[in-house]
């Protein structure tokens, strides 16, 4: 359990986000009040289809959106505050980076923005290039990268400054099976180093494989949350396989409708 | 949510507009002290919708005005009086700086345009009216030019010429030549013509006084000053008025 | 990494410099900047052959007037289009998310973007001024005449630079609200036109124009036509007017951008 010295890595308290739909006073609820805690060093998977609130949850943690109600804290700091942003690494969904820069130049730029300079920046850039498997493509322009390589350079910039919390929005989007396996390995590696990881996915099998905890979201609502084993329970043992999670998700979604 | 305005908040826009208004009010005195002479509104109205925005937006006024001038000359060749008049207006609206446009535009208005309808040999009264109307238009055109080039003697001399040749208003012609002669850099002949017009108006004493006042300012070493001619006229006027 | 490394003016300046450099790099790889610079330079070089459109002005004056016009016109286009493109494309591609989730403050990001665009515009103006200067010097030596003293020419060019950087600041202000590069480009150009026409604003229905700066005050061509340098006091006042509006637009843009969600 977290203490005052070591607070929750992620803490949502009745966090809700809605947007006005125009002059009529109507609102779209992107996320209904969400209360959730995550301990440091865990891997949390946010699962759900498009429009379920996964990206909203990640953007709230990244400080890119402000709550309509409630709070969101990272290691005790308000999300989006100067202090919180030093603790976060973020990979947006399907990003496109400056095509005119090489992978190494882009990472050096990101290192500078995170106040890494000189030898430290060079060392960290080399490390993350190796870690993400981009060592050989480091001098190539980002514009020539494949989708998988772009995703890896995105992941590299997210972990470059050794953040305590890494947020990944649909990191497996558009990746082939080999790419997904590599991604899973990288996420597990981050967790092994004590980094807290929150990622969103609509690939239930992948989430089940790498997550310590799962959150099922549907139409902005929390449907279920817990460790994969807790959620799937005995059913998993009797009938192992990712289809169980899919079945569970559909059951929970229908129960809320 | 994707729209043209991604950050739409009425309160934010209202606050922004209020700050803009406040800044404009605070900077108004500075702006007024920096601003040049007025008269811009008419210039804008003339340019509206004729490619003038290009001239206003980023300069290139010479070329845009040149284009209008060429079009005015094409209209002149077609003997299309309304188009010629309109294009002359656009030319000076796009670029008011060259005197060339004002002088030659006024000459076209005063001397060429009235002759086109007169080709059919209408009665003398109609002929006179047409010429007077165009002369008035040319004088207004030059008057507009004087707002930009107040100290340009050439414009006043051209106005004097039009009064002299087209309206027959010697009094106005004399006034224009005198105003021109009093401007720095005016040609010497402006003063001589003013004196001559005073004589023609039957005011030889006034003409004599004027030429006597002008004479000391004429350089002896510049043939264009024609001191000899002025001395000769003074002598003639002295005889006519019995003064020495 | 110590937390203090993220704070303080030195850290802010370092981040602004990085973002400005990144923006300039991206701008120099865009076809737009190159296209406008080449077109502007070609027009300045070709001014001699546009004499068919010159009536009543001395040739050197015509070339200078035309060259400054080209700098002002293409500079205005570049200021509005490049600012909109560089700002909005990074938001649309989500690359900005990776910057804004780091210890980079929103105002630092905007100031860096603006500084990058200003650097681009400076390079653009310098290039065209050099081309114009060479064309004028060659014709001056051929004709044996002089257009105007060098300080007047340089002051006229500086006025064009002030004008187009102010257009960039206004476009940045639009960008802080805009949801697309197309909208920001169109709105930026429209504002530039409104500000250029600002000098025509009288009372009544024109009064609303008065909230925008008067770009007509930055009339390099008029200064060159006058042929004598502007007084130090006037230049200082104009620079103050420019600085006040640039600061205002960057501050307003920062204020709006701080409240923007992604």
How far the first Cα of chain B sits from its last, in Å, is 96
Beta bridge partners of A46: A200, A215
C33 touches A at CB < 8 Å: no
Task: Residue B69: list chain C partners with CB under 8 A.
Answer: 55
Task: Residue C105: list chain A partners with CB under 8 A.
Answer: 82
What is the per-residue pLDDT across B173-216, written as a single tens digit (0 to 9) for each? Answer: 999 999 999 998 899 999 999 999 999 999 999 999 999 999 99
Among C109, C92, C101, CA closest to A167? C101
| Gap from C177 CA to chain A (nearest CA, Å) | 15
Residue A236 confidence (pLDDT): 52
Task: Residue C103: list chain A partners with CB under 8 A.
Answer: 82, 85-86, 113-115
Residue B88 confidence (pLDDT): 95
In the numeric block, the tokens 């449907």 are attached to: A223
In the numeric block, the tokens 């109507």 are attached to: A26
Region A168-188: mean pLDDT is 86
Task: Residue A83: list chain C partners with CB under 8 A.
Answer: 3
What is the per-residue pLDDT across B9-62, written as a single tens digit (0 to 9) for each? Answer: 778 788 888 999 999 889 988 888 887 544 444 555 555 545 455 555 555 777
C226 touches B at CB < 8 Å: no
| Closest residue in chain B to residue C234, using alpha carbons only | B34
Identify the weakest region by mean pLDDT among A86-90, B62-66, C22-26.
B62-66
Beta-carbon contacts of residue B5 (< 8 Å; ≥ 6 apart)? C177, C178, C179, C183
Residue B39 confidence (pLDDT): 42
Mean pLDDT over the full length of chain A: 87
Region C189-194: mean pLDDT is 90
Task: Residue A161: list chain C partners with CB under 8 A.
Answer: 1, 102
Beta-carbon contacts of residue B13 (< 8 Å; ≥ 6 apart)? C177
| Closest residue in chain A to residue C22, using alpha carbons only | A109
**Beta-sheet strand order (sheet of A221-226):** A88-91, A165-168, A196-201, A43-47, A213-218, A221-226
| Gap from B40 CA to chain C (nearest CA, Å) | 5
C161 touches B at CB < 8 Å: no
Among B237, B100, B92, B114, CA closest to B165? B114
Which residue in the set A63, A82, A162 is minimally distant from C6, CB to CB?
A82
Mean pLDDT over the full length of chain B: 85
**Higher pLDDT among residues A127 and B36, named by residue:** A127
Which residue in the set C54, C210, C222 is minimally distant from B62, CB to CB?
C54
Among A56, A60, A63, CA closest to A80? A63
Domains and CATH numbers, chain A: 1-18+27-87+166-173+201-257 (3.40.50.300)
Residue A238 confidence (pLDDT): 46
| Gap from B199 CA to chain C (nearest CA, Å) | 35
Chains that touch B (3 or more CB pairs under 8 A): C
What is the per-residue pLDDT across C42-67, written as a single tens digit (0 to 9) for each? Answer: 888 887 777 666 666 677 888 888 88
Residue A5 confidence (pLDDT): 60
Residue A166 confidence (pLDDT): 96
- Rounded to the nearest 5 degrees, what angle is found at the Cα of B20, between the Cα atoms of B19 and B21? 90
C247 touches B at CB < 8 Å: no
Task: Residue A95: list chain C partners with CB under 8 A.
Answer: 93-95, 97-98
SS3 for chain C, per residue? Answer: CCHHHHCCHHHHHHHHHHHHHHHHHHHHCCHHHHHHHHHHHHHHHHHHHHHHHCCCCCHHHHHHHHHHHHHHHHHHHHHHHHHHHHHHHHHHCCHHHHHHCCCCCHHHHHHHHHHHHHHHHHHHHHHHHHHHHHHHHHHHHHHCCCCCCHHHHHHHHHHHHHHHHHHHHHHHHHHCCECCHHHHHHHHHHHHHHHHHHHHCCCHHHHHHHHCCCHHHCCHHHHHHHCCCCCHHHHHHHHHHHHHHHHHHHHHHHHHHHCCCC
With 60 as the cut, is the pLDDT of residue A237 above it? Answer: no
A145 touches C at CB < 8 Å: no
Task: Residue C71: list chain B partners with CB under 8 A.
Answer: 59
- Percent with pLDDT over 90 in chain C: 55
Asked if C101 lies within 8 A of A85 by C-beta distance, the reply is yes
Confidence tier at A1 by pLDDT (50, 70, 90): low
Per the structure, the complete domain to which residue C100 belongs is given by: 3-258
Region A19-31: mean pLDDT is 80
| Closest residue in chain C to residue B59, using alpha carbons only | C69
Which contiguous run of DSSP H or E holds residue A168?
strand A165-168
The number of domains in chain C is 1
What is the per-residue pLDDT across C107-139, written as a single tens digit (0 to 9) for each? Answer: 999 999 999 999 999 999 999 999 999 998 988
What is the per-residue pLDDT across B117-139, written as a single tens digit (0 to 9) for each? Answer: 877 777 888 888 889 999 999 99
C49 touches A at CB < 8 Å: no
Which contiguous run of DSSP H or E holds residue A249?
helix A243-256
With 90 as the cut, is the pLDDT of residue C229 above it? Answer: no
pTM value is 0.81
Range among B144-148, B149-153, C122-126 rated most confident: C122-126
C70 touches B at CB < 8 Å: yes
Asked if C95 lies within 8 A of A96 by C-beta distance, the reply is yes
Beta bridge partners of A34: A15
| Gap from C110 CA to chain A (nearest CA, Å) | 14
d(Cα B168, Cα A5) in Å, to the nearest integer?
Answer: 103
d(Cα A23, Cα B2) in Å, to the nearest integer?
Answer: 16
Predicted ipTM > 0.90: no
Most A CBs within 10 A among C9, C12, C28, C94, hence the mutation to make, goes to C94
With 70 as the cut, is the pLDDT of residue C146 above it? Answer: yes
Chains that touch A (3 or more CB pairs under 8 A): C
- Percent with pLDDT over 90 in chain B: 51
Region C185-194: mean pLDDT is 91
Task: Residue B4: list chain C partners with CB under 8 A.
Answer: 178-180, 183
C-alpha A5 chain-centroid distance: 24
d(Cα B48, Cα C76) in Å, to the nearest integer?
Answer: 20
C32 touches A at CB < 8 Å: no
SS3 for A179? helix
Residue B109 confidence (pLDDT): 96
How far the first Cα of chain C sits from its last, in Å, is 28
Asked if C1 lies within 8 A of A161 by C-beta distance, the reply is yes
In the numeric block, the tokens 């998993």 are attached to: A236
Residue B66 confidence (pLDDT): 84
With 80 as the cut, is the pLDDT of residue C236 above it? Answer: yes
With 80 as the cut, is the pLDDT of residue C207 above it? Answer: no
A31 touches C at CB < 8 Å: no
C104 touches A at CB < 8 Å: yes
| Closest residue in chain C to residue A90, using alpha carbons only | C98
CB contacts under 8 A, A 55-74 vs C, are 59, 62-66
- Percent with pLDDT over 90 in chain A: 60
Residue A234 confidence (pLDDT): 46
d(Cα C114, Cα A54) in Å, to the nearest integer?
Answer: 33
C107 touches B at CB < 8 Å: no
Asked if C262 lies within 8 A of A100 by C-beta distance, the reply is no
Asked if A157 lies within 8 A of C98 by C-beta distance, the reply is yes
Which residue in the set C93, C101, C262 is minimally distant from A96, CB to CB?
C93
Residue A57 confidence (pLDDT): 94
| Closest residue in chain B to residue C48, using alpha carbons only | B63
């Amino acid at each position: 359990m977290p203490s005052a010295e070591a607070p929750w890595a992620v803490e949502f308290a009745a966090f809700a986000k809605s947007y006005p739909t125009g002059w009529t006073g109507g609102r779209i609820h992107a996320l209904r009040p969400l209360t959730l805690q995550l301990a440091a060093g865990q891997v949390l998977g946010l699962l759900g289809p498009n429009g379920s609130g996964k990206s909203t949850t990640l953007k709230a943690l990244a400080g890119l959106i402000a709550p309509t109600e409630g709070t969101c804290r990272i290691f005790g700091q308000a999300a989006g505050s100067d202090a919180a942003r030093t603790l976060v690494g973020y990979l947006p969904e399907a990003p496109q980076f400056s095509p005119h820069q090489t992978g190494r130049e882009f990472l050096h730029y990101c290192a500078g923005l995170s106040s890494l300079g000189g030898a430290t920046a060079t060392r960290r850039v080399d490390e993350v290039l190796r870690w993400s498997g981009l060592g050989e493509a480091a001098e190539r322009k980002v514009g020539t990268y494949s989708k998988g390589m772009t995703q890896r350079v995105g992941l590299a910039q997210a972990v470059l400054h050794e953040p305590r919390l890494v947020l990944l929005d649909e990191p497996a989007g558009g990746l082939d099976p080999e790419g997904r396996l590599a991604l899973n390995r990288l996420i597990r590696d981050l967790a092994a180093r004590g980094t807290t990881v929150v990622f969103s996915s609509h690939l239930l099998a992948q989430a089940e494989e790498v997550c310590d905890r799962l959150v099922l979201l549907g139409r902005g609502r929390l449907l279920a949350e817990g460790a994969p084993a807790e959620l799937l329970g005995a059913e998993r043992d009797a009938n192992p396989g990712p289809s169980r999670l899919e079945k569970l998700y559909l059951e929970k979604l229908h129960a809320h409708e | 949510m994707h729209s043209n305005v991604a950050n739409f908040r009425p309160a934010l826009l209202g606050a922004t507009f209020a700050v803009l208004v406040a800044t404009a009010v605070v900077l108004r005195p500075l702006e007024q002290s920096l601003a040049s002479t007025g008269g811009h509104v008419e210039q804008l109205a003339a340019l509206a919708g004729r490619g003038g925005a290009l001239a206003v937006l980023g300069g290139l006024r010479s070329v845009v005005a040149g284009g209008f001038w060429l079009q005015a000359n094409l209209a002149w060749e077609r003997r299309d009086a309304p188009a010629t008049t309109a294009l002359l207006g656009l030319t000076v609206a796009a670029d008011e700086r060259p005197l060339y446009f004002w002088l030659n535009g006024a000459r076209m208005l005063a001397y060429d345009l009235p002759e086109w309808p007169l080709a059919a040999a209408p009665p003398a009264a109609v002929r006179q009216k047409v010429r007077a109307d165009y002369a008035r238009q040319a004088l207004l055109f030059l008057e507009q030019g004087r707002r930009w080039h107040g100290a340009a003697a050439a414009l006043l001399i051209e106005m004097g010429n039009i009064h002299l040749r087209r309206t027959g208003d010697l009094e106005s012609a004399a006034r224009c030549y005198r105003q021109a002669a009093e401007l720095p850099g005016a040609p010497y002949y402006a003063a001589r013509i003013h004196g001559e017009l005073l004589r023609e108006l039957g005011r030889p004493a006034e003409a004599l006084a004027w030429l006597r006042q002008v004479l000391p300012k004429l350089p002896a070493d510049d043939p264009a000053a024609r001191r000899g001619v002025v001395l000769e006229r003074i002598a003639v006027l002295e005889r006519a008025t019995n003064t020495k | 990494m110590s937390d203090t490394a993220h704070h303080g003016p030195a850290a802010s300046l370092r981040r602004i410099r990085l973002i400005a450099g990144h923006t300039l790099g991206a701008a120099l790889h865009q076809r737009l900047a190159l296209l406008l610079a080449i077109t502007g330079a070609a027009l300045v070089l070709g001014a001699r052959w546009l004499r068919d459109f010159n009536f009543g002005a001395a040739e050197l004056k015509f070339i200078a007037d035309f060259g400054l016009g080209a700098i002002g016109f293409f500079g205005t286009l570049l200021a509005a289009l490049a600012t909109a493109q560089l700002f909005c494309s990074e938001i649309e591609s989500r690359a900005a998310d990776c910057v804004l989730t780091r210890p980079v403050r929103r105002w630092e990001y905007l100031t860096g973007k603006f500084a990058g665009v200003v650097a681009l515009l400076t390079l653009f103006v310098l290039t065209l001024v050099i081309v114009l200067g060479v064309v004028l010097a060659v014709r001056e030596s051929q004709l044996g005449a002089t257009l105007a003293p060098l300080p007047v020419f340089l002051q006229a060019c500086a006025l064009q630079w002030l004008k187009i950087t102010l257009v960039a600041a206004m476009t940045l202000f639009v960008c802080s609200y805009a949801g697309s590069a197309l909208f920001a480009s169109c709105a930026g150009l429209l504002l530039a036109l409104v500000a250029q026409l600002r000098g025509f604003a009288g009372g009544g229905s024109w009064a609303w124009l008065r909230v925008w700066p008067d770009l007509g005050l930055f009339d390099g061509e008029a200064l060159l036509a006058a042929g004598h340098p502007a007084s130090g006091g006037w230049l200082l006042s104009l620079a103050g007017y420019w600085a006040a509006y640039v600061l205002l637009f960057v501050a307003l843009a920062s204020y709006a951008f701080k409240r923007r969600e992604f």
